């Protein structure tokens, strides 16, 4: 993604923190919307198929209502879908700049599928309305043959859209979600960054598959909570709503809600097992416990409403589902944070270099203390990381200084005799901040590249 690289600004640490917040906010918009699209598409498709097979007008009405619910306005596609998508792409282009993976490219491909899916989804929704209109039109007898032909023609075309476009949009949405989830999971697992060199690495990955199933179940849970709230929220004026549609929506949302919230804890465990151990921190465990607790609560509410045949908890369920979504997103973001620590160090270093250059260009003289420069200037004559020169190789002697940077700095400021097989190291006359910088540099390089 060369063109994206050009958009990238050098990242300071503050800049990266800001980007990570932006990413979380964006997810809070995009992921619920994405999941409701998928969930509604599945449910609507199911009922429209049933309507055609059994000539069931209630199922037809319900399928139509659900589609209208998510597609009430064309501009929400931009606000809740496309713009957040672009924002995710932009954030990753910045955050993963200089890393070996081209995540934004994968997200772009996912976006293309997403847009095509929405095109079919809106046409699918229109076909429901056209069917209604055509039913009225064809029942009105007309003596005009040409008009009758037109109606038949239009009916045929509408039928194609009605029969096929729902399936197309679902397939495209699922493909988009699969790639999207795969890209997100790849970002959160830096151990795979070197090995995943193309989109195939995302497609054929157990991680992607498990998270995709997780995302599907989330979609069904969020959608059923949404449908339940839409029909049965307190003070909702139900006059004019067919009783049979009401009954069907209650039965459907409660059943799907119950099944998906029961599946959720198992999927959560499964997704936790495959998180790279590097990313598993205490924070993640705590959030996981919260998520478990919330899903069990949701499952209970669904169960009692189903058993008692009421819908009293529709507001609580929606509220808990929002908490659930936020917790899942924050948890994943924590995993990404921990996994990408090295990447952020790299970017921060790059930023330092950039700033020095910038200052030089502006004619400001800068005296900076720079670890690599000190090493190259003063130590390299006697030390390499993996070979003995005059002094011992760093990879052998730095082991004992791991986590004891102050001791290493102390040694550099005032070298004492250590190993009888070597001569004493001459004092290098370093200033304290120089000793710190070079100690920091050799330790990091050792830990990143030479540690066994
Ligand atoms: C003139 C050669 C020479 C130069 C220059 C030199 N060293 Fe050494 N260094 C040695 C020798 C010889 C030893 C082994 C000393 C011993 O075991 O007593 C040593 C040991 C060390 C050790 C291991 C200490 C231990 O506890 O085992 C570190 C770390 C080290 N040097 C870092 C540096 C750094 C950083 C620089 C540059 C700022 C540097 N050295 C420059 C020769 C040199």
With cut-offs at 50, 70 and 90, classify the pLDDT of residue 196: confident
**Which pLDDT does position 221 carry in this prediction?**
96
Those residues with Cβ within 8 angstroms of residue 135's Cβ, 6 or more apart along the chain or in another chain: none
pLDDT above 60 (res 290): yes
pLDDT above 80 (res 342): no
CB atoms within 10 A of CB 251: 12
**pLDDT per position as a tens digit, 97-114:** 777 778 888 999 999 999
CB atoms within 10 A of CB 407: 12
With cut-offs at 50, 70 and 90, classify the pLDDT of residue 5: low
User: Which pair of tokens denotes residue 26?
Assistant: 């964006």
Those residues with Cβ within 8 angstroms of residue 77's Cβ, 6 or more apart along the chain or in another chain: 118
User: Which pair of tokens denotes residue 172?
Assistant: 């495209």
Distance 393 CA to ligand 1 centre (A): 9
Ligand 1 atom closest to Cα of residue 442: 35
CB of 196 within 8 A of CB of 137? no
**pLDDT per position as a tens digit, 55-96:** 888 999 999 999 988 887 888 889 899 999 999 998 888 887
Angle, helices 103-139/57-70, rounded to nearest 10 degrees:
140
More confident residue, 167 or 341: 167
Distance 352 CA to ligand 1 centre (A): 27
With cut-offs at 50, 70 and 90, classify the pLDDT of residue 217: very high
Assessment of whether the complete model's pTM goes beyond 0.75: no
Distance 439 CA to ligand 1 centre (A): 11
**Which pLDDT does position 107 carry in this prediction?**
93
How far is C-alpha 68 from the geometric centre of its chain's CA atoms? 27
Distance 23 CA to ligand 1 centre (A): 45
Phi, psi of 388 (to 5 degrees): -80, 130
Q: Where are the alpha helices (DSSP H) in 71-144?
A: 75-76, 83-95, 103-139
CB atoms within 10 A of CB 82: 15
Euclidean distance between CA atoms 356 and 96, whole angstroms: 22
Output the average pLDDT for the chain: 86
**pLDDT per position as a tens digit, 308-327:** 988 888 899 999 999 999 99
Distance 90 CA to ligand 1 centre (A): 45
Q: Tell me the best of 385, 415, 426, 444 to mutate to test the pocket of ligand 1, counting ligand atoms within 8 Å of each CB and taking the most.
A: 415
Mean pLDDT score, 400-419: 92
Q: Tell me the best of 376, 378, 388, 425 to mutate to test the pocket of ligand 1, counting ligand atoms within 8 Å of each CB and taking the most.
A: 425
**Which pLDDT does position 214 carry in this prediction?**
94
CB of 369 within 8 A of CB of 437? yes
Nearest CA to ligand 1 atom 22: 397
CB of 249 within 8 A of CB of 227? yes
Q: Tell me the best of 372, 380, 382, 406 to mutate to test the pocket of ligand 1, counting ligand atoms within 8 Å of each CB and taking the most.
A: 382
Distance 425 CA to ligand 1 centre (A): 5
With cut-offs at 50, 70 and 90, classify the pLDDT of residue 13: low
With cut-offs at 50, 70 and 90, classify the pLDDT of residue 258: very high
pLDDT above 80 (res 295): yes
Phi-psi label, residue 403: left if phi above 0, alpha if psi -120 to 50, beta otherwise: left
pLDDT above 60 (res 366): no
Ligand 1 atom closest to Cα of residue 398: 29
Distance 422 CA to ligand 1 centre (A): 10
Sign of the torsion angle spanned by Cα atoms 311, 314, 315, 319: positive
Report residues whose beta carbon is within 6 angstroms of any ligand 1 atom: 374, 378-379, 381-383, 390-392, 397, 411-412, 417-419, 422-426, 428, 430, 438, 442
Ligand 1 atom closest to Cα of residue 439: 35
What is the rounded (10 degree) CA torsion for 118, 123, 128, 131? -170
């Amino acid at each position: 993604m060369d063109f994206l690289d050009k958009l990238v600004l050098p990242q300071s640490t503050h800049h990266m923190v800001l980007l990570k917040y932006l990413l979380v906010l964006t997810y809070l918009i995009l992921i619920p919307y994405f999941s409701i699209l998928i969930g509604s598409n599945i449910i609507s498709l199911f009922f429209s198929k049933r309507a055609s097979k059994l000539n069931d007008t209630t199922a037809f009405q319900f399928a139509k209502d659900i589609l209208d619910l998510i597609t009430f306005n064309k501009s929400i596609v931009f606000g809740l879908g496309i713009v957040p998508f672009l924002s995710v792409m932009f954030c990753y282009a910045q955050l993963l700049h200089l890393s070996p993976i081209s995540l934004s490219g994968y997200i772009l491909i996912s976006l293309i599928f997403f847009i095509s899916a929405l095109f079919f989804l809106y046409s699918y929704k229109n076909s429901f309305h056209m069917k209604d209109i055509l039913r009225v039109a064809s029942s009105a007898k007309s003596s005009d043959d040409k008009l009758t032909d037109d109606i038949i023609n239009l009916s045929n075309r509408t039928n194609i859209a009605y029969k096929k476009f729902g399936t197309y949009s679902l397939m495209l949405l699922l493909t988009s979600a699969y790639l999207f989830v795969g890209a997100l999971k790849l970002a959160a697992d830096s151990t795979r960054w070197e090995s995943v060199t193309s989109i195939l690495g995302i497609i054929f990955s157990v991680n992607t598959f498990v998270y995709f199933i997780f995302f599907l179940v989330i979609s069904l849970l969020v959608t059923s909570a949404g449908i339940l709230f839409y029909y049965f929220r307190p003070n909702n004026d139900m006059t004019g709503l067919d009783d049979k549609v009401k009954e069907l929506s209650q039965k459907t949302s409660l059943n799907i809600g119950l099944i998906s919230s029961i599946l959720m804890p198992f999927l959560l465990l499964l997704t936790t097992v495959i998180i790279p151990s590097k990313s598993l921190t205490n924070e993640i465990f705590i959030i996981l416990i919260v998520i478990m607790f919330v899903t069990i609560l949701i499952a209970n509410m669904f169960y009692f409403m189903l058993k008692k045949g009421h819908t009293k908890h529709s507001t609580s369920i929606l509220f808990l589902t929002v908490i659930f979504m936020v917790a899942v997103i924050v948890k994943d973001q924590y995993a990404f944070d921990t996994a990408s620590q090295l990447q952020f160090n790299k970017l921060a270093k790059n930023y330092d270099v950039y700033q020095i250059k910038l200052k030089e260009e502006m004619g400001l003289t800068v005296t900076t203390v720079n670890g690599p420069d000190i090493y190259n200037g003063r130590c390299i004559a006697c030390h390499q990381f993996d070979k003995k020169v005059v002094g011992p190789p760093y990879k052998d002697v730095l082991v004992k200084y791991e986590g004891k940077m102050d001791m290493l700095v102390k040694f550099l400021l005032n070298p004492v005799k250590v190993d009888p097989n070597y001569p004493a190291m001459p004092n290098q006359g370093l200033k304290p901040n120089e000793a710190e910088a070079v100690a920091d540099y050799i330790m990091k390089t050792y830990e990143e590249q030479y540690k066994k």
